[in-house]
Amino acid sequence: MTAVPHAPLTQEDVLLEGFLALDTPEGFRAELIEGEIVVTPPPDGDHEHYISRIVRQVIRKSMTDMDFSGNKGLTLKAAPGAPRDHVVPDATFAPERLSLFRGADSWMPCDGVAMVLEVTSTRPDKDRDVKRRCYARGAIPLYLLVDRDDSTVTLFTDPGNGDYREQHRVPFGKPLGLPAPFGFDLETSDFL
C-alpha cells in the first residue's frame, strides 16, 4: 500500500493553525485579522459603559426582538492572500428568531448577523479601518463604531466590494438612526 502524499501546508494554513492553538491569558482576546494575530487586553470601564448603553437600547427599542452576544467569535471571508479572518466584535446582534448563538461553536460564520458593534480601545485604527473591511467582506449589513477619541458614533451600511459604501456619523450627544430590523434612534446623550 502506498502512502497518499499530503498537500504542503501554505503560509496561511500555518498561521491559522498557530492562531487557533493560542492560549491567551484570562481576559485577553486573540483575533486573526487580515493575516495578523492581534491580542487585546481586557477593556476599561468606559469601554464597557458604551456597550452597556447600546445593548440596553437595542433590547428595549428594536422593532425586531434581538439576541445579543458579547465577544462572540466570527469567521469572515479573508482578505486576498490571507487566511479567513477570525474577529471578535465587542457586541454581535442577530434576530432572535434565527437562534444563531444557540449551539454555535467558539467561532461561527457571520450569516444572519444583523449588526456588530466596536468601541475603540488600545488600537483604534483596527476598529476604524481593518475590522470595518472585515465586516464588510462578511456582508454584515450594519457596523456600529463608537470612536472614543473622536467622540463620535458612526453607522456603516451597504457592504460591498470589500468595504461599506455608506456611513452616517454623529457626535456624542446626538441621536443616530438605526434602520430595520432595529428601527429606532440610538440615543448617545449619556456618552458625554
Read off the pLDDT of residues 120-150 as tens digits, 9 standing for 90 and up: 988 899 999 999 999 999 999 999 999 999 9
**29-37 mean pLDDT:** 82
What's the number of domains the chain is made of? 1
Mean pLDDT of 5-25: 70
pLDDT, residue 123, reads 84
pLDDT value, residue 28: 80
Q: How far is CA 22 from CA 25, 31, 70, in A?
A: 10, 10, 20
pLDDT of residue 1: 52
Instruction: Please give the residue range of the domain that contains residue 154.
Output: 43-191
In a domain, 105, yes or no: yes
| Residue with grid cell 483604534, as numbered in its chain | 124
Residue 4, all three cell numbers:
497518499
> How many angstroms separate the CA atoms of 104 and 190, rounded?
34
What is the mean pLDDT of the segment spanning 153-159? 98
Whether residue 14 is contained in a domain is answered as no
Residue with cell 479572518: 85
Q: Output the domain CATH number for residue 64.
A: 3.90.1570.10
| pLDDT tens, position by position, 77-127 | 887 777 788 899 999 999 999 999 999 998 999 999 999 999 998 889 999
pLDDT band at 3; cut points 50, 70, 90: low
User: Does a structural domain hold residue 10?
Assistant: no
Q: Does residue 14 surpass a pLDDT of 70?
A: no
Sheet holding 152-160, edge to edge: 66-69, 91-95, 115-119, 142-147, 152-160, 163-171
